[in-house]
Amino acid sequence: MRLEHKVAVITGAASGMGKAIALLFAQEGAKVVVSDIQKEAAQITVDEIEASGGQAVAIATNVTQEQEVQQLIQKAVKEYGTLDILVNNAGIMDNFVPAADVTDDLWERVFAINTTGTMRTIRQALPIFTEKSSGVIINIASAGGLNGSRAGAAYTASKHAVVGLTKNVGFQYAPLGIRCNAIAPGGVATNISSTINEPNAFGMERAMIGMNLNPKTGESHDIAKVALFLASDDSSFVNGTVIVADAGWTAY
């Protein structure tokens, strides 16, 4: 029970890595706020947690809307009295669109969810963490945030920005008892592929060049175990960094 008496907010927790993290955190004793833009799907995650004896609540949140992000953190504190762990998992792909073809609308939508949404939840959580002199932030970045061509221009840039934000927050707030780290998954079987619609042929061909080097496709629970390590006191000396979980793909 490494997270006993802890309260965790997890965005994008209705499916994939977010759901796996929510289930594992609850199993380890955390009270979990399951946040997702799809309330019914989030409630299914809650039902699974409760069926196993855990505590959870579903809160519908569109992370591109500042008011909804504020309400998410406020409701979490109202429900469970505090906040200890924030996991920023909500994200979308970008149809592998290369720089020459990217539109303002696509660029802004990808950044709104992947990067600005992450900043907004962190901004709401930090005053709570600062007051109690403790708190853990875990951002789901990507191997695409460390390399140049795992996706299109917008996704790649947005995840690089998440890595930079992680390091900035981790260092600046370290004296206040707050840790901020990121996980960079490689190829993981999740439903983020459902956000790909009519992929750009050129961009996809360029991004797929290195796929034959991928030793293994991971599962959501593989990432959840890394998140548990970062959320627990086992990682008390780990801060402002990115843990790559990709079976060695980016080691080549």
Which residues are identified as catalytic? 155
CA distance 212 to 226: 25
Q: If you search the block for the tokens 């206040």, which residue do you land on?
A: 176
Q: Output b/e per residue, 208-231; b: 16+ Cβ within 10 A.
A: eeeeeebeeebebebbbebbbbbb
How far, CA to CA in Å, does 89 sit from each of 34, 51, 131?
11, 23, 24
User: How many C-beta atoms surround the C-beta of residue 247 within 10 A?
Assistant: 16
Dihedral sign from CA coordinates of 228, 4, 42, 33: negative
What is the edge-to-edge ordering of all strands in the sheet holding 7-10?
55-60, 31-36, 7-10, 85-88, 135-140, 178-185, 242-245
- As a whole number of angstroms, the distance between CA 201 and CA 208 comes to 11
Q: Is 194 exposed, middle or buried (0-12, 13-18, 19+ CB in 10 A)?
A: exposed
Closest CA to 94 of 122, 81, 113: 113
Could you tell me the two tokens for 172?
Answer: 């600046």
